Amino acid sequence: MRVLIVGGTSSLAQALIPLLRDHCDVLTAGRRGCDVELDLRSHDIRIPGGIDCVVNMAAAFGGKDFSDTLQAVDVNVLGLMRLCHASSIANAKHFVHISSISADLSSGSPFFGAYSLSKKHSEDVAQICGRELRLPIAVLKPSRIYGVGERFRKHQPFLYAIMDKAQRHEDIDFFGSNDALRNFIHAQDMANIVSAVMAMKLEGVYRCVNADNVSYSQIAAAAISAFASRSKVRFLRDKPDIPSNAFACDETLFRLVDYFPRISIALGMQMEAAHRRLAS
């Protein structure tokens, strides 16, 4: 199988590529540092011929400025449409689009923003393009992706800040009295799921959410245990509460590919701690 991974320098791509190298011819595409130069903002996107599967991991994460919102829509929505069209012209056999569970947030959620909006629209675009271009498309909606190493810090700074504090034996403080919930999926689990979706040439839209939502105190306890830390956890009750951002797990995809997420937040923290010990 010949695979093109768009967003080939992303943290998830770096977890997926080693899984595919043994049985696939893997090409990466992106704005820099990839086999194929490709910018989803370009109006002249082309991909090589002979590609069996295109995996889109490229994304703009938005921000608070209007220009950030425009960029998120341009990359995540219009860029996806351009990439689907280019994939159809190149006679790609299958397309996997990595969306986000944040696309399921309501517009009233405090976590809803340009990224959520653009990802929600990207899923509609993927389905329309699949139908109109007769391009088999799978849309995967992971929760927060984390993994081993510094490359994951950029998009999960909260999680890595907790590990930093535990490693330094510093107390871990949380605002408010609400033990807020979050949902994380490890990059290795997500890479295995993507690989299985490719192998089975699945179509459709699927959630990729960990069965367990974890609280702030559980995350801190996992970090303290992983780093054998003397840190203590405190809730600053005079500060505003932090709202939860939890999601219900849908096992449909996991059952189809016969793979369920295996790396708990505790194991994920242990893996990161072991990595840091080796690197020091």
Q: What is the mean pLDDT of residues 147-176?
A: 96
Mean predicted confidence (pLDDT) in 70-78: 92
Q: What is the pLDDT of residue 128?
A: 96
- CATH code for position 69: 3.40.50.720
Q: Please say if the pLDDT value at position 162 is more than 90.
A: yes
Please report the pLDDT score of residue 61 as a whole number. 85
Q: What is the structure's pLDDT at 62? A: 72
Quote the pLDDT of residue 158: 95
> Where does the pLDDT of residue 219 fall: very low under 50, low under 70, confident under 90, or very high at 90 and above?
very high
Asked whether the predicted pLDDT for residue 68 surpasses 90, the reply is no
Q: Within a domain: residue 256?
A: no
Q: What is the pLDDT of residue 273?
A: 98
In the chain, % of residues over pLDDT 90: 91
Inside any domain, residue 48: yes
Indicate the pLDDT class of residue 64, thresholds 50, 70 and 90: confident
Whole-number Å distance between alpha carbons of 195 and 193: 5
The answer on pLDDT for 112 being more than 80 is yes
Query: CA Rg, the chain, in Å?
Result: 19
195 has pLDDT over 80: yes
pLDDT, tens digit, 9 for 90 and up, residues 234-243: 999 999 999 9
Q: Is residue 176 part of a domain?
A: no
Average of per-residue pLDDT across 15-32: 94
7 assigned to some structural domain? yes
Question: In terms of DSSP H, where are the helices of the chain?
Answer: 11-21, 66-73, 79-89, 114-133, 157-167, 187-200, 216-226, 252-257, 265-279
Residues 6+ apart with CB under 8 A from 29: 4, 5, 6, 7, 8, 35, 36, 37, 38, 47
Confidence at 69, pLDDT banded by 50, 70, 90: confident
Is residue 194, in this structure, part of any structural domain at all?
Answer: no
Mean pLDDT for 257-263 is 97
Q: How many of the other CB atoms lie within 10 Å of CB of 255?
A: 10
In percent, how much of the chain has pLDDT > 70? 100
Predicted confidence at residue 123, as pLDDT, reads 97
* Among 71, 55, 66, 43, CA closest to 1: 55
In a domain, 230, yes or no: no
What's the pLDDT at 65?
82
Containing domain of residue 97, as a range?
Answer: 1-142
Q: Look at the chain and report how many structural domains it folds into.
A: 1
| pLDDT recorded at residue 280 | 83
Tell me what pLDDT residue 63 has.
72
Inside any domain, residue 80? yes
For residue 242, tell me if it sits in a domain: no
